[in-house]
Structure 1
């Protein structure tokens, strides 16, 4: 880019890449707030949907599991579905961050904040 300026040209290139990465990170942040994953438990009897940032958006419970004497089982299934959704959200967010890192030419194992 700035040939003949030595390390100053390299610095300008690095600044350009950093600005580009900052823009891509902001876009990914917005996407992560809108993309959802669904976790489930009890073979699909309880489903929890959350954003890739882990914010709960929906909870679907099959009415067949509502028996007064099985209250604890229902509570456990709900918690398991929520945990599954949050784990999937975290895994997907990390995969997206890794993909962005690789596109920018950064090392695969570099952890980016979000």
Structure 2
């Protein structure tokens, strides 16, 4: 019994380390998004950090339009990044968890 508990604790620590490694790796995964007319392009990491923003000169003429484009495009990029992040982290966590009776996802 005690050996099983120690084994589970070791497995949990190993899984935690793999999750941390995955989070670091996701810093280098880029998610690109652009407005429908390609006047605004953004790149975010899978950890939802903005990496680049490219704005066409045409958008600089209308502040309100630019703000709208930024909100829509960044939100789409962040949504995609969140989906990638959650899928990667949950896959690592699920594969590394010990089989505990009664514990299901």
Normalised by the length of structure 1, the TM-score is 0.74
Equivalent residue number for residue 84 of structure 1? 76
Alignment of 1:28-39 (within 5 A): 28-39=22-33
Q: For the aligned residues, what is the CA RMSD? A: 2.1
Distance 2:96 2:82 in 1: 21
Deviation sequence 1:87-106 (CA, Å, 0-9, x none): 11111100101211232247
Aligned residue pairs, count: 101
8 Å CA contact 1:40–1:46 kept in 2: the answer is yes
SS at match of 1:43: coil
Higher RCO (C-alpha 8 Å, min separation 6) = 2
Q: Which residue number in structure 1 is paired with residue 94 of structure 2?
A: 102
On the 8 A contact 2:12/2:96 being kept in 1, the answer is no
Question: What is the rounded CA distance, in whole Å, between the counterparts of 2:47 and 2:26 in structure 1?
Answer: 6
